[in-house]
Structure formats: C-alpha cells, structure tokens
Structure 1
Amino acid sequence: MSFPWAKQYTPKHPFMVWMDEKLPLPRLVYSAVGGGYEVPRNINYFWNFGFLAGFCLVIQIVTGVILAMHYGGNTQVAFDSTEHIMRDVNYGWMLRYGHANGASAFFVIVYLHIFRGFYFGSYKAPREMIWLLGVVIFLLMMATAFMGYVLPWGQMSYWGAQVITGLFSAIPMVGEPIREWLLGGFAPDNAALNRFFSLHFLLPFVILGVVILHIWALHIPGSSNPTGVEVKSESDTLPFYPYFIAKDGWTIGLFLIIYSLFVFFMPNALGHPDNYIPANPLQTPAHIVPEWYFWPFYAILRSFTQDWLFIIPAKLMGVLAMFSAILVWFFLPWLDKSPVRSGNYRPLYRKFFWVLVLDVLVLGYCGGMPAEQPYVLVAQIASIYYFLHFLVIVPIVSSIERPEPLPYSITEAVLGSDKAAAPGDKA
C-alpha cells in the first residue's frame, strides 16, 4: 500500500540511476519488500508465515530441479532411479530428504497461515482477492504434492494414484473416460507417471506465478494486523526493511533448525514405510493412506459409506464433500458479515474458532487411521461440524455477536489509550 509518508526510492550511483530509467527493478524490489513498503507496527509472529511459505517454495523448486536431473520418469526405472539418487548421487540423500520433508514443512506453514487468516479475519474486505488467490495456491499445492508422491513409484505411490484418480470415476457417465484420459490407460502405468512427472515439475512455477499475484494483491490494501483496525497515520506503521526483515530472518533461522532436525535425524518420520517397496499392481497394501497433510480431507471423503437417498452414490458424495471442504473457503468473505475482523475482539467467534481447530485435528487423526469403526463414525460427526461451522455457525455468529470495543488506532493498541472506537469502526 502506498502511503504519503512512505520513503521513495532515490538512486544515487550513476549506474543505478541509469538502471532505474531503463528497467526499474530495484525500485520495484524497494517498494515491495524494502523501506518503501510500510507495515502495521503491531503485526506479530503469526504474520511471518507468509514469508516462511515463500522460503519453503524456493527450497522445493531448487531441490526439485536438481532431483529431476537424476530421476527417470519411467515405470521400469523410477524406483531404481530414486534409490540411485539416495545412494550414488553426491548429497542426493540430502536433496531427496530435504524435498520430501520440505513438502511437509510447506504444508505446516500454509495451514498455520490459513488458520491465522480464519482467526484474524484476513479474508474480509478489502482483502478478499488476497484470500481467494491464497486458496488457489493451496489447491495447486495439493495437486503438486499428490503428483510428487507418485514419482518414487513405491507401493503407496502406485496405490495412492490408483485411489485418487479413481475418484474421477464417481462422476456419472463421463467419470471413467476422464480417468482413462488422465491416466493414459486403464490403470496407473508409464503414461500416467510421465504425465505426473511433467505436471509436478511445471506446477511449482505456476504456484510461483500465483504467489506473485498474491503479493501484488497484498500491496494494494496493505497488510492486515491483529486488531483488524486500518492504518490511520504514519505512527501506525514501520518500514518493512529493516524491522520486519530482521523479524522474518529470526523466524527462518528457527525454521531451519527444526527442518534440519527432520532432514538429518528423522527423515522418514512423516513418510510411509511401504513406499520403500517397489510398486506392485498385484499386491494391495493393507492400509492405503495419503501423505499426512491430506488426512483431514481424506477423512471427509471416507465419511460417506451409504448412497444418499439410494440415488447418489456414496463415492460421488464423498468426492463432492472433499472438494467442497476447500471450495467453501472461497465464500468465507461473504459468509462472515461481522464488521469486526479480529477474533481478539469477537468472544463468541473465538470459541467456535478453537472448536474448528480441534475438529480439523480430529479429522486428520481419523484420516490416518484404517477405514473402520469407530474412526468412520467420529469422522462423520467431525465432517458434519466442519461444514456447519462455515455454512451455519459463522453467518449466525457474525449476525448475533456483540464484539468488544476496538482500539481507535494501531498506535493506541500498541501504546495504550483511554479512547475506544465503536465495534467495527474502520475495521
């Protein structure tokens, strides 16, 4: 967001002056992440997750490009080429473990980023487009992660591809032809592996493009903050550089410590041991399960065990519910009509938010368990609450809730004041 008090880029060196006239890239960087970008002074460490997510994306692209140089996208050699990377390529084990655990780290950070948005109302006007682009990024991440999980061509890779692509067959009439078109055959084989490899390589760069749009959209209204009160004066903001760059740098250091612990000391903690067994189409694993970051949505998918009204197949209902669990986020800016953004000033909403967090954790646990009782029943109850939260509870709470008084400005929220604005004042 461009504030009148924001520092303007003024090159001094003759070369930089010439560069600014011909290709103002330094000016763009300065305005985007330098001293020319003003940020609310009260943002806390929950606002660091966006920067961390971008850092994870860079890790995934760099390690992925290097791994692609040694990977064989053919069912005859895919598993062996993965082991070749691990055993024969210099530091190949580190690249492979870094890439695999980097995907988990990426999802952890993005989930925290999303739930921070839920709590602090980051999806509300004037930031709807930022939120919508963020949901698109998440959908692209899920597609990319699924295809990457198939590439090692182990048992869980093959059967995961079999199950997930089989979801398309639930679509009436055209489902099975679509599935065969996507796979290039009747079952996951060489054609499917080639397609997944190509798309897995391409999609991270698509994600990068949407991330640029996401950041661009962010710079129009500016960053949100824990109070939900908009910037009113120069005293409400600080330059992104050096204050928040230093804050993000500290967080990246902490992240790298935790990330290194997984890569070097427990690299397979978040993976599945069956994926170290070569893919065998004739031997079905006892328990087919996707990567952990898909578990909440996998639980919703498996919650439908009977045909609805004896007409709509349970499989189709499960697929629709699984995708709807994410698509409902697109409508959140219009479902939540409260004039107050931050959950800090919404006592009733705050309680239901923590119930939602618990509900998603329960769904994740059930999604990782076998499809048997009592896990199916618990997942069904949790799935019902999940949709009730967004479609019923949030609209009702936003209509009946009495928010607490908001601070008049960001500065007063930080430094303290006797004044208070009416709920929703410029929020």
Structure 2
Amino acid sequence: MSFPWAREYQPSNGFTRFLDEKLPLPRLVYNAVGAGYPVPRNLSYFWNFGVLAGFFLVLQIVTGVVLAMHYAANAQVAFATTEHIMRNVNWGWMMRYAHANGASFFFIVVYMHIFRGLFYSSYKAPREMIWLLGVVIFLLMMATAFMGYVLPWGQMSFWGAKVITGLFGAIPLVGEPIQVWLLGGFAPDNAALNRFFSLHFLLPFVIAGVVILHIWALHIPGSSNPTGVEVKQESDTVPFHPYYTAKDGFGLGVVLLAYFAMVFFLPNALGHPDNYIEANPLSTPAHIVPEWYFWPFYAILRAFTVDFILPAKLWGVIAMFASILLWFFLPWLDKSPVRSGHYRPLFRKFFWFGLIPAMIVLFICGGAPAEEPYVMLSQIATAYYFLHFLVILPIVSSVEKPEPLPYSITEAVLGSDKKAVLGENTTPAV
C-alpha cells in the first residue's frame, strides 16, 4: 500500500547520496523497517512474533554454520562428533544447546504467529499471498527440523527417521520407491545421513529467501491490525521506527530471558533422553516420539486405527499432510467480511472453546504412548480440527452477525471524539 504521508528517504551527506544513487540499500532499509514505513498505531504484542521468528531464524543459521564446521555426516562417527562438539570444542556445548533450544523457540513464536493470524483472519484479502507464503515457510521449517533431529544419530534420531520415512511406504505403488529414494537404501544409514545433513544445511537459506518474499508481500497492502479495519488516514499510523522497533526490542528482551534460562539451566528439558544413546538398529525404543513441535501432527497420524477402503496407515498419512495443506484454502473457506475475531462473537467462541482445546489435546496425545485414552482423545480432537476448518468456519462466516466495527483505527484507539478521529488539531490556540 502506498501511503501519501510516508516520509521520503533523504540522504544526509555525500557518501549516502552516492550510495543511494548507485546501490540504494539504505533507502530499502528505511522504507522496509524505518520511518518511511507507516504501521497501524494499534498493534498489540501479538504482532511481535514475526520479528521474533526472524531473529530465531538468523540465530539458527549462525549457530548451525558453526556446528557444521565440527560435525561429520557419517553413521560411524556422527554420534561421536556430536559428543566431541559438546566436550572438546570451545563453547561447543553452548552452540549446540543454543541451536537445539533455538529450534524450539523458533517453533513457539511461529505457532503464536500462526494462531494470531487465525484469530485476526490475517489470511483475508488483500493479504492472501502473505498467508500462503507463511504456510510455505512453516512446511520448510518442519522439513528442516525433522532432518536436524536425525543428525545427532541417537536412538530417537535413527528410529524417528525410520518411522517418518516409513510413512511414504503407505502410498500405493510409488510409496516404497519414494522411501528408498529418500533414504538412499532400505534403512537409515550413511546415505540418509548425508542427504539429511545437506538438506538441513541448505533449507534454512531457502526459508530466508521465502521470508524476504513474505515481508515483500506484507509491504504491498501493509500490516493488519487488531480491529481488521484498513488504514484510512495519516492519524491511523505511526512510523515503524522508533515506535515499533522499541516495542519489538522490548518483546525480544523478554523472550531472550526465557530462551537463555532454557539454554543455561534446562538445556535438555525439551529433548528426549533416548537421543543420548547411540543409534542401534537392533534395539527399538519402547516409545518412539518426534520432537515436541511435531506432536499435534503425530497425534493426527496415529488417530486412524481402522482400515476403511484404504489402510489406516495411509489415512493417517493423508490426514497428517492435509491438516497443514488445508491452511492454503483458508482465504476462501472463511467468507466473513469482518477480519478481527474481536468483532465476530460466534467465531470467537468456536476458536477459544473449540480449536484451541483441540490443539492442546493433540499436543498432549502426540507425546503420549499410543494407548487409551490417548488414542480416543486424539481421534476426537482430529475430528474437531477438520470439522472446524472445513465445516464450522464456512458456516459461521456465512450466518453470524458481526458486532459494529469502529470507523477507523484512530477511533478504536482514541474513542469516538470527532476531532481526534478525523486527525484535527485539538490543541487550543495560544
């Protein structure tokens, strides 16, 4: 969106004028995150999570590059090199814990970012492309995280790779060849480890490229806001810098306190103890689980236990992938003209008392053993998850009566005072 009141970049000296003429990088930064980018004035701390996700992506790339300098993608020595990093490399233990816990925090802030988008309908026009690119980023994150989980070559690494790649074997006709192609053999070994290491190193840079497209797409319509009302006038916005750089900086400081507490005091709390046992193809762990951020989708996979036309395993694989792919269709499933859940009373009830509890149940059941009552609970939660997006959301968006929207963002912030809403000068003349 082009704002006529956006501040133009003005080079301040000869060098910056020369640089702006030959390589306008300062102008690009100024227009992207500086005073040249007007942002709705009513953004809450839920809008911090995009910046936090960008920070943790950079952190993962930097720590990953350092760890790659000391890691050997060979099944005979991978576990030993991981221990070498922990015990012998200067600050290696901190780099590994920063990387491992950084992945968890990356997923935490991205999940919060997604749920904020779901509640405030950030997928609606004119921001469909922002949402679609965000879903692509999430899929790339999942692939990258899975391959990274395999690299330490512990028990959970090996058997996690065995189970997840084995899912492709459920696909009729082409499943087994795809599984062999992914692993480079019939079981996880050197070929699989080399492939996963190469892709785990490469994909973060692909994610960074898609993030640039994501931000580019965001700057065309501008940021959404808690009211869902589009920007109408200059008083609806403030410059991104210094207002939101300070706000995002404060949010980053709070999150970093929690992050460093995990790295230094609870570094293994989010991992699995079996992954500190070297991979043994002859010893199957009693309870194979992926990392915690895969648990809801793992619960959906295990929710199918009965063969019906197709094998139960194939139904589970289809449902697991469909649970994310259906996000691509949300801009067209939700037909409500109102974006913000604050002004959609029926939608709000189904979101807070339906979707959120279902996701919590899936998180719990995904990390629990495949036994009752967890299987039954995961089946109920899976059924509601798909009903919410495919049935409830389209019906609610068609029949509910939204609450009255504010005239403008300024009115939502300052109240209904006419002069304040219209941006007129309310200071008495001297």
Q: How does 1:271-310 map to 2 (within 5 A)?
A: 271-308=271-308
Q: How does 1:11-160 map to 2 (within 5 A)?
A: 11-160=11-160
2:384 alignment partner AA: Y
- Residue 204 of structure 2 is aligned to residue 216 of structure 1: no
Alpha-carbon deviations, 1:223-272, whole Å to 9, x = none?
A: 00000000000000000001000000001111110000000000000000
Equivalent position of 1:396 in the other structure: 395
For 1:288 and 1:21, the matched residues in 2 are separated by 58
CA contact (8 A) 1:75 1:153 kept: yes
Instruction: Pick from 342, 345, 348 the counterpart of residue 344 of structure 1.
Output: 342
Query: How many Å apart are 1:2 and its aligned residue?
Result: 2.4
1:277 alignment partner AA: I
For 2:310 and 2:417, the matched residues in 1 are separated by 59
For 1:217 and 1:259, the matched residues in 2 are separated by 30
Structure 2: stretches of 5+ with no match in the other structure: 419-430
For 1:222 and 1:77, the matched residues in 2 are separated by 50
Equivalent position of 1:189 in the other structure: 189
Query: How many Å apart are 1:418 and its aligned residue?
Result: 6.7
- Residue 243 of structure 2 is aligned to residue 243 of structure 1: yes
Query: How many Å apart are 1:78 and its aligned residue?
Result: 0.3
Helix, strand or coil at the partner of 2:223: coil
Instruction: Pick from 332, 335, 340 the counterpart of residue 333 of structure 2.
Output: 335
For 1:43 and 1:162, the matched residues in 2 are separated by 44
Instruction: Pick from 321, 324, 330 the counterpart of residue 323 of structure 1.
Output: 321
For 1:278 and 1:108, the matched residues in 2 are separated by 28
1:101 alignment partner AA: N
Helix, strand or coil at the partner of 2:5: coil
1:410 alignment partner AA: I
Taking structure 2 as the reference length, the TM-score comes to: 0.96
1:396 alignment partner AA: I
Query: How many Å apart are 1:12 and its aligned residue?
Result: 2.0
Alpha-carbon deviations, 1:318-353, whole Å to 9, x = none?
A: 000000000010000100000000000001100111
Equivalent position of 1:358 in the other structure: 357
Alpha-carbon deviations, 1:191-244, whole Å to 9, x = none?
A: 000000000000000000000000000000000000000000000000000100
For 1:364 and 1:248, the matched residues in 2 are separated by 28
Runs (4 or more) in structure 1 with deviation over 4 Å come to none
Alpha-carbon deviations, 1:26-79, whole Å to 9, x = none?
A: 100100001100000000100000000000001000000000000011001100
Equivalent position of 1:200 in the other structure: 200
For 2:26 and 2:394, the matched residues in 1 are separated by 45
Helix, strand or coil at the partner of 1:351: helix
For 2:195 and 2:94, the matched residues in 1 are separated by 26
CA contact (8 A) 1:302 1:376 kept: yes
CA contact (8 A) 1:46 1:113 kept: yes
1:133 alignment partner AA: L
CA contact (8 A) 1:144 1:200 kept: yes
- Residue 408 of structure 2 is aligned to residue 406 of structure 1: no
For 2:4 and 2:222, the matched residues in 1 are separated by 13
For 1:26 and 1:376, the matched residues in 2 are separated by 55
Query: How many Å apart are 1:186 and its aligned residue?
Result: 0.3
Equivalent position of 1:425 in the other structure: none
For 1:235 and 1:178, the matched residues in 2 are separated by 56
For 2:39 and 2:239, the matched residues in 1 are separated by 6
CA contact (8 A) 1:338 1:398 kept: yes
For 1:165 and 1:136, the matched residues in 2 are separated by 20
Alpha-carbon deviations, 1:102-143, whole Å to 9, x = none?
A: 000000000000000010111100000000000000000000
For 1:154 and 1:345, the matched residues in 2 are separated by 49
Alpha-carbon deviations, 1:12-36, whole Å to 9, x = none?
A: 2101101111111110010000110
Percent identical among aligned pairs is 78
Helix, strand or coil at the partner of 2:177: helix
Equivalent position of 1:422 in the other structure: none
For 1:64 and 1:331, the matched residues in 2 are separated by 34
Helix, strand or coil at the partner of 2:31: helix
Query: How many Å apart are 1:306 and its aligned residue?
Result: 1.2
CA contact (8 A) 1:2 1:37 kept: no
For 1:418 and 1:160, the matched residues in 2 are separated by 60
For 1:2 and 1:198, the matched residues in 2 are separated by 41
Structure 1: stretches of 5+ with no match in the other structure: 420-427
Helix, strand or coil at the partner of 1:353: helix
Taking structure 1 as the reference length, the TM-score comes to: 0.97
Equivalent position of 2:261 in the other structure: 261
Helix, strand or coil at the partner of 1:108: helix
CA contact (8 A) 1:168 1:179 kept: yes
2:359 alignment partner AA: V
